[in-house]
Amino acid sequence: MDDVIRSKDNSNAKYLHSLHNRKKASLDDVVFLEGTRLCEETLQSGIMPVVIAYTQSKKTLVLEWCKLFCISKTSVKFLCFTDEVFEKICSTVSPQGVAMVVKKPEKDLSFPFRGKEDIYVVLEDLQDPGNMGTIVRLADAFDFTAVLYTKGSVDPYCEKALRASMGSCWHIPLVCFDNVDSILDTLQSNGIQSIAMDLKGSDINQAGITLPAAYFIGNEGRGLQENTTLKCNLSVKIRMQGKAESLNAASAASIMGYILSKYRG
């Protein structure tokens, strides 16, 4: 752990920098994390790193992690960089001196289903990573069964989404589907009520919601596709008394998540 990498042209430095491209990282089935808090939240979730990158000033912290989280020094690659080189491998303006590479969670081929009180949030072509991370975090907070999202949505493992999720991405299944029809078919075959969030829908308090249920949040710019809304079992809206026409995706998802959680026995 004592050799310090001082060259920006070092192969390890170049590789870590390349992982900011999620397409590249996805090919290797890995996720790049930056910052003390996000790294510690990941370790606390039981996720073991493949690589730990750090600056000389953070060596003591890394050694503490090894003891606290039982990190094997033989199965993890430790890379120490000068501050200057570390800045080049990170995307944040003022990096905190620690970063990690972890394996992306393996996808369970079976649809996650726990029982009659299951709640899912479905994201159709959601684009904002902050919204994605926030929704993953609320799904974790309200003990949802899973977050389902279409292939056209932002990657929940991109750096901005990871920071917004505050480690919740490791606590709950995140399941990607090719399209919204395949999600609807899966829900129907498992007897799960599908609920479209739509400004033209019924008042949420009078809609006849039952669990298990999955509610659909659409793209930030256009909302849900009309065809998606038509195919859902219910179409509901959150009644608002102010002048704003609508809520942003994460806010609407949070309110709906809280309301649905009250349906549990």
- Considering the domain architecture, whether residues 143 and 243 belong to the same structural domain is answered as yes
| Model pLDDT, residue 215 | 97
Average pLDDT of the residues in 68-74: 92
Least confident of 116-120, 153-157, 218-222: 218-222
Is the pLDDT higher at 217 or at 265?
217
Average pLDDT of the residues in 223-238: 94
- State the average pLDDT for the chain: 93
Q: Are 164 and 250 in contact (CB under 8 A)?
A: no
66: CATH: 3.30.1330.30
pLDDT digits (tens, 9 = 90+) for 16-70: 999 999 889 999 999 999 999 999 999 999 999 999 999 999 999 999 999 999 9
Can you tell me whether residue 66 is helix, strand or coil? Answer: helix
Asked if the model's pLDDT at residue 109 lies above 80, the reply is no
- Considering the domain architecture, whether residues 72 and 152 belong to the same structural domain is answered as no
Token reading at 70: 């039982």
- Angle ∠(213,206,145) on CA atoms, nearest 5: 15
Token reading at 50: 């493949």
Identify the CA nearest to 261 among candidates 141, 133, 111, 114: 141
| Model pLDDT, residue 243 | 81
Write the DSSP symbol of residue 206: G
| Model pLDDT, residue 73 | 85
| Model pLDDT, residue 197 | 93
* 108: in domain: no
Place of tokens 């990282």: 25
| Model pLDDT, residue 172 | 94
- Considering the domain architecture, whether residues 127 and 215 belong to the same structural domain is answered as yes
* 218: in domain: yes
* 228: in domain: yes
| Model pLDDT, residue 55 | 97
| Model pLDDT, residue 256 | 94
pTM for the whole structure:
0.91
Q: Which residues contact 22 (CB under 8 A, 6 or more apart)?
A: 155, 157, 158
Rounded CA separation 32/158 (Å): 8
Q: Are 91 and 20 in contact (CB under 8 A)?
A: yes
Length of the chain as a residue count: 265
What is the tally of structural domains in the chain? 2
Place of tokens 């790294």: 39
Rounded CA separation 142/158 (Å): 23
pLDDT digits (tens, 9 = 90+) for 170-204: 999 999 999 999 999 999 999 999 999 988 888 88
* 96: in domain: yes
- Considering the domain architecture, whether residues 74 and 137 belong to the same structural domain is answered as no
Domain stops at, among 70, 103, 136: 103
| Model pLDDT, residue 201 | 81
Q: Which residue range is the domain that position 79 belongs to? A: 4-103
| Model pLDDT, residue 205 | 76
| Model pLDDT, residue 2 | 67
pLDDT digits (tens, 9 = 90+) for 211-230: 999 999 999 988 999 999 99
* 35: in domain: yes
| Model pLDDT, residue 8 | 92
